[in-house]
């Protein structure tokens, strides 16, 4: 694998992890958002998707983020009889977002992003050393 290929593969990883962090941020921002209408569904957690594709031009596997999938798990139910969105039993449907899971996913995405940056930095350093050697 040459320098430009490793840079392109790492750059694709940066883009995918950036998109992943965007989806996770949206989940965290809506973790406590109830529905706008009584009896309606609240925000539904989105699951970021990433696929690996073979790039013929680079002759390497690169990752690409896809459209986020909806998490079809059950909504959380919170007892709040004074809430205008509560049902007859006093329950309000809340998003199916677990903040702890989202924060752990965010940390994992951040570490992957940092690893891709490290690959780019190492590739730049090797390229620079190669140029220095060719000058001598």
How sure is the predictor about 87, in pLDDT bands with cuts at 50, 70 and 90?
Answer: confident
**Claim: this prediction has a pTM higher than 0.75:** yes
- Average the pLDDT over 32-55 and give the result: 91
Whole-angstrom Cα Rg for the chain: 22
The residues, any chain, with a CB within 8 Å of residue 133's CB and separated by 6 or more, are none
pLDDT of residue 72: 96
Neighbours of 129 (CB within 10 A): 10
Give the span between the Cα atoms of 25 and 93, in whole angstroms: 21
Neighbours of 3 (CB within 10 A): 12
| Integer angstrom CA distances of residue 11 from 16, 53, 81, 95, 124 | 9, 14, 50, 33, 13
pLDDT of residue 10: 95
How sure is the predictor about 129, in pLDDT bands with cuts at 50, 70 and 90?
Answer: very high
- Average the pLDDT over 115-136 and give the result: 92
pLDDT of residue 1: 61
Mean pLDDT of all residues in the chain? 93
């Amino acid at each position: 694998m040459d320098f430009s290929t490793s840079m392109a593969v790492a750059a694709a990883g940066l883009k995918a992890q950036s998109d992943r962090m965007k989806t996770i941020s949206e989940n965290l921002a809506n973790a406590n958002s109830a529905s706008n209408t009584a009896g309606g569904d609240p925000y539904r957690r989105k699951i970021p998707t990433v696929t690996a594709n073979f790039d013929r031009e680079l002759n390497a596997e690169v990752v690409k983020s896809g459209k986020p999938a909806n998490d079809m798990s059950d909504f959380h139910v919170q007892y709040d009889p004074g809430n205008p969105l509560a049902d007859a039993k006093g329950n309000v449907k809340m998003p199916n977002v677990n903040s702890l899971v989202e924060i752990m996913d965010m940390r994992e995405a951040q570490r992957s992003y940092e690893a891709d940056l490290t690959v780019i930095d190492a590739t730049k350093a090797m390229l620079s050393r190669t140029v220095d050697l060719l000058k001598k």
